[in-house]
Amino acid sequence: MEEPLDFEQEDHLLSHAPRLPSKRKRAISLDGLLSDFYGGKRKTVEKCSRHFEATNGYDSDEDDKRVAQNETYLRKFVEDCEKQVNEIGYEEEYPIWGRRAFGMQKAFPQLEKPVTANSDFFGHFSGTGFASIFDSNGESVEIFLEGLLTNGWLSHLVATTGSLEDSIASWTFHTMLYSSAEDLHVSACDFWCSILRSENKGDQPLAKLGWIPSYTELKDAISNYGYLCPTFNGTDCEISEDGACEGPPLNICSWIRVLSACCQIRNRYQIFSSTEMQELLEVVIWFYLDRHLLGLALELNGCFHSIVHYFLDAEWEDSCAKVAASIALRVPKDLNCLRIVECITGSDNRTKYLKSQLALHLLIVCFDNKAKSAEEILKLLASVNLKGNSCDFFKLYIYLALTENLLLLYHPFQEKIKVVDLWCQYLRNCSTQITSTDWRSYASKVRNKASYLLQNMALKSSS
């Protein structure tokens, strides 16, 4: 390829022109220049180092010793810094909310009067051939009834006859409360809920009830389930992780549902007195603290609202104050008291009033009865030195949340303007006097919550 072409050989000028070199010198890149530069520097440093070692008698062992001492000093310095940071930002381990509502179960009672073949209920169907299906053996009768119950036929037969015999009523209720077969106690619960709530166009029940559930049956049932009645100051019912406690049984869901149904028929049957209803309301509220019942939150909320609206208007305020005072004396003064207030949900005035009263009585107990009203409580909160080392921000966080719920529906109204002003001033103190660099336990949570509540109140007032 490098040979001249034919016309180039004929050209006299081209034949005498100097030939180009066969190889060209490679261009030096910027990387190459830098490599040459630092390579020369390295050679200079190595030369100076050899000269220094030769003139000063360099000892490599001494240098390694100095490096080791520096590393030890640096490591100790870092450990001291970490220790100081941990001491400043140390979060105490506060227990989570949760109290056991049930302990060891008792032996379930037997039905006193079992259903027999001579029952009046079966007499309605003597001409239909039902009597020939079973003999006079009581066990066969019970098995036959269980089949009617689980298949839903018992409800249709009761609606057809227009009455529910006492023996059938007590048997189905006992089956609902104590049967270990899930299909049986669930079917019995559905049966009772339909019977209690069923009515015709004249708001009259479809079936006459000679026997109806009572407070005694329901209270005895949870006692047999192992219900732990909370004592004052929350000294028992603590969570145990060793599995020594049993319960609650599966029947507790049916118990909650049928209690809710009983509360919804006060216009036809006044099953409970106001005092009994107050005790049942306390029981249902205590169920909110048992983590084993979290899966029944929907049933619990429905039962709670049914109980709240069971009371007459003239009964509600007095009953609400009694329930709130009783719970406040028994619940522990930790995250459980926040949980028991926050689990009460609803936008109606009765629910808000119960929430406000519960927060008020909890704060009264927390302050050892030194304050009786919202104004006095806020003055005590304002006297807390937020910058002092002895300030317990965990308790302050609980007080802040409880006071928020107290003012949700505060009475009396003539004090409301003054109370709101004190509340806003206290929120400003919490949001400004607690700095963002304060690493004390729960300090940032108090500051952030106060700032949020203050901003929320400003938005409400502007709108």
User: Are 188 and 179 contacting, i.e. CB atoms less than 8 angstroms apart?
Assistant: yes
Read off the amino acid at residue 103.
G
Report CA-CA distances (Å) from 349 to 1, 324, 404, 456.
103, 16, 16, 21
pLDDT for 78 equals: 76
- DSSP single-letter state for residue 163: E
Angle between helices 251-263 and 297-308 (to 10 degrees): 30
User: Are 247 and 343 contacting, i.e. CB atoms less than 8 angstroms apart?
Assistant: no
pLDDT for 238 equals: 45
Q: Cα torsion at 292, 295, 301, 304 (round to 10°)?
A: -30
Dihedral class, residue 276 (left if φ above 0, else alpha if ψ from -120 to 50, else beta): alpha
pTM above 0.95, yes or no: no
Other Cβ atoms closer than 10 A to 460:
8
pLDDT for 240 equals: 43
Angle between helices 215-225 and 274-287 (to 10 degrees): 30
Long-range contacts of 306-313 (CB under 8 A, 24+ apart): 306/259, 306/260, 306/261, 306/263, 306/264, 307/259, 307/260, 307/263, 307/277, 307/280, 307/281, 308/281, 308/346, 308/350, 308/351, 308/354, 309/263, 309/350, 310/263, 310/266, 310/272, 310/277, 311/274, 311/277
Calpha distance 99→245 (Å, rounded): 12
Calpha distance 443→422 (Å, rounded): 21
Read off the amino acid at residue 5.
L
Cis link prior to 412 (omega < 30° from 0)? yes
User: Are 383 and 435 contacting, i.e. CB atoms less than 8 angstroms apart?
Assistant: no
pLDDT for 136 equals: 47
Cis link prior to 248 (omega < 30° from 0)? yes
pLDDT for 239 equals: 45
Calpha distance 93→452 (Å, rounded): 25
Other Cβ atoms closer than 10 A to 401:
20
pLDDT for 125 equals: 61
User: DSSP string covering 31-49, please?
Assistant: HHHHHHHHHHHHHHHHHHH
| pLDDT lower than 70: segments of the chain | 1-64, 67, 84-94, 117, 123-139, 199-204, 232-247, 410-415, 460-463
pLDDT digits (tens, 9 = 90+) for 163-175: 888 888 999 999 9
Question: Encoding tokens for residue 110?
Answer: 């037997």
Angle between helices 443-462 and 393-406 (to 10 degrees): 20
Calpha distance 374→415 (Å, rounded): 9
pLDDT for 190 equals: 94
User: Are 326 and 280 contacting, i.e. CB atoms less than 8 angstroms apart?
Assistant: no
Q: Cα torsion at 174, 175, 179, 184 (round to 10°)?
A: -160
pLDDT for 68 equals: 72
